[in-house]
């Protein structure tokens, strides 16, 4: 149930948003929110307020069914870990289900399930989040439980050791037993020379094996506090209802230490492309991929991230992309091909492209086709028709995302936790409309730079089979 968050989903790719910090304790809609809602009419009426202890609260009404999604987002992820304890953020996520004085170990999820709800948690490089989806009448119950473990987590040594075995087995099954996962891990380590995004969220095996109760409690005491968290409640509620419940259950939780703004080591200017080759007998087919270091929504110059998203949609994403049509359909150089832009990191994003060569096709042929594709875009750009098709697809996805209660909770929660504003989220369609064909050509020239890339190749390794004489 508890797991490393492998992907943020399309809804989160659209949004990169930080909450507007308001000092008022009264309940009211932000003027920015009111202005945005009136301007585009494409989203819910979102309300924000802050408790005295520093907890940010966002309410997203959705009255179509008597159900609510309750999420607590902590502004801490794997990239915030101290050196030598990689995986502690994910480990603590597991340990948060071990109970408090009020809740016995292992009972948190069982209580939710007995009331017909569901719960889970996830860890990424930038956030750790816990969520429940329950009937409206059970919202007070989950608020009380989540507020309790925000400050009253109880960890027994035997439970810590048992759960450490669980995460070690998780790494073995998800990473060590998967050649593709091992290659992806090595690509990230090569892409980020200085930034902690090069360290896997789940952690390195040799460091995970040493994680202790003390490590977990140190991480918990430093980062798990209302003034380092955002509460998102989406569903059949009103702002007044949520305010009363939040004051009752989260209000008494003591404020934690005031943390400095998150600042991580930045990447040096790239000077040479890198290549990672993994040979593994478990690999079914030869595969090729390339990743380019790129800015995220938060760090990109104005308009660049939107242009990159549209560029990669036209160039490599999906079966309508230029890449797929040429490599798979026309030239039959690959059995599958694709790519995209991952812009959701707090500090960095990446551009990526991949292909599985057809039988008899070499890696060099794939690389030549990729280089020709990007060279053509740099030289000749793309058409207005291609741009409009990509833009309309993203705007449609954004609007459809407003129909998902849990999707909205994740959209706002992740974005606000990583440093953007509510206005940034809601102005996404308008920003896409400002991108022109010249912008796509410009960002292709700027960011599709081989010096800022890592190429990964997975090769099947012949198995050694002993011959037996008859």
DSSP state of 99: -
Q: What is the mean pLDDT of the chain?
A: 90
- Kindly state whether residues 219 and 73 are assigned to the same domain: yes
Q: Check: CB of residue 267 under 8 Å from CB of residue 195.
A: yes
Q: What is the predicted pLDDT for the residue at 12?
A: 34
Domain ends where: 216, 249, 282?
249
Domain ends where: 211, 234, 249?
249
Residue 264 within any structural domain of the chain: no
Number of domains the chain contains: 2
- Kindly state whether residues 146 and 280 are assigned to the same domain: no
Domain ends where: 249, 283, 315?
249
Q: pTM for this structure?
A: 0.89
% of the chain exceeding 90 in pLDDT: 87
Burial of 101 (0-12, 13-18, 19+ CB in 10 A): exposed
- Kindly state whether residues 309 and 200 are assigned to the same domain: no
Cα angle, residue 454 at apex, residues 452 and 456 outer, rounded to 5°: 165
Tokens matching residue 399: 């609007």
- Kindly state whether residues 77 and 216 are assigned to the same domain: yes
- Kindly state whether residues 72 and 219 are assigned to the same domain: yes
- Kindly state whether residues 107 and 143 are assigned to the same domain: yes
- Kindly state whether residues 309 and 455 are assigned to the same domain: yes
Domain residue limits at 152: 3-249
Residue 260 within any structural domain of the chain: no
32-75 pLDDT tens trace: 333 333 334 557 899 999 999 999 999 999 999 999 999 999 99
Q: Check: CB of residue 441 under 8 Å from CB of residue 265.
A: no
405-418 pLDDT tens trace: 999 999 999 999 99
From the list 35, 45, 52, 93, the catalytic residue is 93
Residue 219 within any structural domain of the chain: yes
- Kindly state whether residues 320 and 368 are assigned to the same domain: yes
Q: Check: CB of residue 61 under 8 Å from CB of residue 238.
A: yes
Q: Find the mean pLDDT for residues 214-232.
A: 98
- Kindly state whether residues 345 and 232 are assigned to the same domain: no
- Kindly state whether residues 178 and 296 are assigned to the same domain: no
Q: What is the predicted pLDDT for the residue at 35?
A: 31
Better-scored residue on pLDDT, 383 or 284? 383
Residue 415 within any structural domain of the chain: no
* 169 belongs to the catalytic site: no
- Kindly state whether residues 144 and 215 are assigned to the same domain: yes
Residue 432 within any structural domain of the chain: yes
Residue 399 within any structural domain of the chain: yes
Residue 178 within any structural domain of the chain: yes
Residue 414 within any structural domain of the chain: no
CATH of the domain at 293: 3.30.830.10
Confidence of residue 420 (pLDDT cuts 50, 70, 90): confident
- Kindly state whether residues 183 and 279 are assigned to the same domain: no
Q: What is the predicted pLDDT for the residue at 462?
A: 80
Our separate counts of H helices and E strands in the chain read 18, 12
């Amino acid at each position: 149930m508890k797991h490393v968050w492998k992907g943020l989903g399309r809804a989160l790719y659209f949004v990169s948003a930080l909450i507007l910090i308001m000092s008022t304790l009264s309940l009211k809609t932000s003027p920015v929110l009111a202005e945005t809602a009136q301007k585009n009419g494409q989203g819910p009426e979102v309300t924000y307020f802050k408790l005295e202890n520093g907890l940010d609260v966002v309410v997203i009404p959705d009255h179509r069914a008597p159900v609510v999604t309750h999420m607590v987002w902590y502004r801490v992820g794997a990239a915030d870990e101290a050196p030598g304890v990689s995986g502690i953020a994910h480990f603590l996520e597991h340990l948060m289900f071990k109970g408090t004085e009020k809740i016995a170990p292992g009972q948190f999820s069982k209580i939710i399930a007995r009331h017909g709800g569901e719960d889970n948690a996830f860890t990424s490089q930038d956030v750790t989040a816990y969520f429940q989806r329950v009937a409206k009448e059970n919202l007070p119950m989950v608020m009380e439980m989540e507020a309790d473990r925000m400050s009253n987590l109880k960890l027994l040594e035997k439970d810590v050791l048992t759960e450490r075995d669980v995460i070690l087995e998780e790494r073995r099954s998800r990473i060590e037993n998967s050649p593709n996962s091992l290659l992806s891990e090595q690509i990230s380590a090569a892409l980020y020379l200085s930034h902690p995004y090069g360290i896997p969220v789940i952690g390195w095996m040799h460091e995970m094996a040493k994680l202790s109760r003390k490590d977990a409690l140190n991480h918990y005491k430093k980062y798990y506090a209302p003034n380092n968290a955002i509460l998102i409640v989406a569903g059949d509620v009103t702002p007044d209802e949520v305010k009363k419940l939040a004051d009752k259950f989260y209000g008494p939780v003591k404020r934690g230490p005031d943390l400095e703004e998150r600042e991580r080591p930045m990447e040096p200017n790239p000077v040479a492309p890198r290549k990672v080759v993994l040979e593994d007998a478990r690999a079914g087919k030869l595969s090729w991929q390339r990743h380019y270091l790129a800015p995220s929504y938060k760090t990109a110059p104005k308009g660049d991230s939107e242009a990159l998203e549209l560029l990669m949609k036209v160039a490599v994403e999906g079966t309508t992309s230029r890449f797929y049509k040429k490599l798979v359909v026309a030239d039959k150089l690959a059995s599958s091909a694709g790519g995209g832009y991952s812009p959701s990191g707090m500090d960095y994003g990446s551009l990526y492209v991949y292909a599985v060569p057809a039988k008899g096709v070499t890696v060099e042929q794939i690389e030549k086709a990729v280089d020709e594709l990007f060279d053509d875009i740099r030289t000749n750009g793309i058409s207005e028709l291609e741009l409009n098709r990509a833009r309309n697809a993203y705007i449609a996805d954004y609007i459809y995302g407003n129909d998902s209660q849990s999707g909205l909770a994740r959209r706002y929660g992740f974005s606000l936790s990583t440093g953007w504003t509510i206005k940034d989220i809601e102005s996404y369609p308008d920003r896409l409309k400002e991108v022109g064909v010249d912008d796509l050509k410009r960002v292709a020239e700027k960011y599709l730079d081989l010096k800022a890339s890592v190429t990964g190749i997975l090769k099947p390794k012949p198995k050694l089979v002993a011959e037996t004489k008859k």
